[in-house]
Chain A
């Protein structure tokens, strides 16, 4: 059984059309014109137990809408979603017991009360015994260190502290599936590293399945083995990280510095035939070439470049993950 299965999922919102011109607001109030927004057009994918999946897309792609349908907050217009084989719409409470959700922009904690009270309430709701609760809190505290601000009202916590509290709250009932919507938003580098380490631990050692939505590409690079890219409500890519790079085929840049002026072949002659690499730029003794790593070995390129002069220094640059993803969001025409 898949942990999570999405079949033909679609969600359409109907909003009123705002009227323009004079008395626009009043006319909007009285009009019955509706506009349909297709937030999610058609999604199909499945997630197995133990996977760590990155769920990315530009703003407005339909990520949050999809996540809300997974949690049972929204009802799909078409298709279905199954979590542990159950529909989060029909069996919301059973599903809620087995998933942990963190919305980066909104807190699950009780705003006016100390952090410890939020945990007390959640432990009661999830029917945890005192010892279960204490054991889980100790475990979580090792990674998230929230006992430091245990007694502080949530409204007085810094963003990073609140996020750690939210993460702990989502994990208190030891769910098998974690759904995280921008969990590291607003955190400093140290806190991010800590959270990433803990998520990695949860996935690799405790076998938790994680679905992560984020705009921070470092999160994806360091944690995810599989990436799902969605844009305009449709699935654009679903596969591994290496596959993602390969699909775009963005060139690897190789910069070589020669000891003396290199003897380059005739430019026209060079360009007239298909070559394993392309000359991208030249500045004095520095030469930049680009090649597709899936087709050509860097070592072969260096050997060819070495025939033009004595190579003093080499720098190999992979395209930034951010650039790769941007290419997928909006392929350059």
Chain B
């Protein structure tokens, strides 16, 4: 069996394991959808009240939201173990993964799967509606479709890289749950809105340190607003590649520092 085959098998097994607890599975899926819908409704109500924010219309902000959330859910779908890495360190679960004849990162990623169907559907709907609206208003060309696909890919890579780096820091400090809230949840919430609203220091943070700004804001300035040139897209790709390389490097070093637990 090839590597893809093994990953697929593990994915199926994870889903099967989840479904062993049937009621829990159904409830969690429903709950997740409700939470994401409520989250967006909150944002939509605020936007509706204001009409537009600093030159960004409701639909443009909806586009930012849609891209960000889709990238987030795609990341969660396969990177759930990285996002919740603390148990692996605290309970020594990493030991059994290190005994498998596969690359450690792959073993970690395939050890846990999260169902994101409902949430993904919701974010894609928002994205689809906003794109359709922007197209009908004549503010964007049909190029927006392949471009959006591109930034969804780079966006997922950036989220994954930041998550991986946070997890890797766990090899030194073990408890990374709280750090993860900062580098993942807080940054995601902030990036739902255009970065031009924020003070300089926060903008710098979200562009240079934890480059979530490159998931939706920077490319959208070109794709949707047309204010910045075409250089934004290759730059986004470069940032994504660089983040991934840096995160993998940190992970590789972290693995040598793994302390496991006692017996």
Q: Interface on A for B, CB 8 Å cutoff? A: 13, 59, 64, 68, 71-75, 89, 92-94, 96-97, 101, 103, 105-108, 110-113, 117, 120-121, 124-127, 153, 181-182
Does B54 belong to the interface (CB within 8 Å)?
no
Q: Which 3 A-B pairs have the closest CB atoms?
A: A112-B17, A96-B101, A75-B256
Are the C-beta atoms of B99 and A113 separated by less than 8 Å?
no
Contact B96–A97 (Cβ < 8 Å): no
Interfacial residues, chain B to chain A (CB-CB below 8 A)? 1, 5-6, 9-10, 13, 16-18, 20-21, 92, 94-96, 98-104, 256-260, 262-263
CB <8 Å contact, B95 and A68: yes
A72 vs B104: C-alpha distance when bound (angstroms):
11
When A113-B16, A121-B9 are in contact, do A71 and B98 touch as well, CB less than 8 Å? Answer: yes
Which residue of A has the minimal Cβ distance to B16? A113
Chain A residues, Cβ within 8 Å of B263:
59, 64, 105, 181-182
Instruction: Determine how close the nearest CB of chain A comes to the CB of B141; give it in whole angstroms.
Output: 47
Q: Are A73 and B256 in contact (CB under 8 A)?
A: no
Q: How far is the CA of A117 from the CA of B16 in the complex (A)?
A: 10
Q: Known: A124-B1, A125-B6. Is A113-B13 also a contact (CB below 8 A)?
A: yes
Of the A-B pairs whose beta carbons lie under 8 Å apart in the complex, a sample of 26, sorted by A's number, is: A59-B263, A71-B99, A72-B98, A72-B99, A73-B94, A73-B95, A73-B98, A73-B258, A74-B259, A93-B103, A96-B99, A96-B101, A101-B99, A106-B95, A106-B96, A108-B99, A111-B17, A112-B17, A112-B20, A113-B20, A121-B9, A124-B1, A124-B9, A125-B6, A125-B101, A125-B102
Partner pick for B17 among A73, A113, A124, A127, CB 8 A cutoff? A113
- Interchain CB contact under 8 A, B96 and A127: no
Contact residues in A for B103 (Cβ distance below 8 Å)? 93
Closest Cβ of chain A to B7, distance in Å, is 10
Asked if residues A125 and B260 are in contact (CB atoms below 8 Å), the reply is: no
- Complex Cα distance A105/B263, Å? 7
Which of these, B21, B258, B262, contacts A64 with CB under 8 Å?
B262
A123: nearest residue on chain B (CB-CB)?
B1
- Asked if residues B13 and A110 are in contact (CB atoms below 8 Å), the reply is yes
Chain A proximity of B4: nearest CB distance (Å) = 12
Chain A residues within an 8 Å CB radius of B257: 75
When A112-B17, A113-B17, A121-B13 are in contact, do A73 and B260 touch as well, CB less than 8 Å?
Answer: yes
From residue A14, how far is it (CB to closest CB) to chain B in Å?
Answer: 9
Provide the bound-state CA to CA distance between A223 and B70, in Å. Answer: 58
Contacts of A94 in B (CB 8 A): 101
Q: From known contacts A103-B95, A125-B101, infer whether A74 and B16 are also in contact, taking CB-CB under 8 Å.
A: no
Q: A112-B17, A117-B13, A153-B20 are in contact. Are A93 and B102 (CB under 8 A)?
A: yes
Q: How far is the CA of A185 from the CA of B93 in the complex (A)?
A: 20
Q: How far is the CA of A153 from the CA of B13 in the complex (A)?
A: 13
Residues A68 and B96 in contact in the complex (CB < 8 Å), given A125-B101, A125-B102: no
Closest Cβ neighbor of A96 among chain B residues: B101
CB distance from A68 to the nearest CB of B (A): 6
- With A73-B260, A89-B256 as known contacts, state yes or no: A108 contacts B96, CB within 8 Å: yes
- For A13, the chain B residues whose CB sits under 8 A away are 259
Q: Determine the chain B residues whose CB is within 8 A of the CB of A127 once the complex forms.
A: 1
Are B260 and A74 interface neighbours, CB within 8 A? yes
Give the residues in chain A near B260, CB-CB below 8 Å. Answer: 68, 73-74
CA distance A101 to B95 in the complex (A): 11
Extra contacts besides A13-B259, A93-B101, A93-B102 (9): CB < 8 Å: A59-B263, A74-B258, A74-B259, A74-B260, A103-B96, A107-B96, A112-B21, A113-B17, A117-B16
| Distance of A156 from chain B, by nearest CB (Å) | 11
Nearest Cβ on chain B to A157's Cβ, whole angstroms:
14
- CB within 8 Å for A124 and B259 given contacts A93-B101, A106-B95, A110-B13: no
- Residues of the B chain whose Cβ atoms lie less than 8 Å from the Cβ of A64: 262-263
Contacting residues, chain A, for B1 (C-beta < 8 A): 124, 127
- Judge whether A97 and B101 touch: CB under 8 Å: yes
Contact B100 A124 (CB under 8 A): no
Q: In the complex, which residues of chain B have a beta carbon less than 8 angstroms from the beta carbon of A74?
A: 258-260
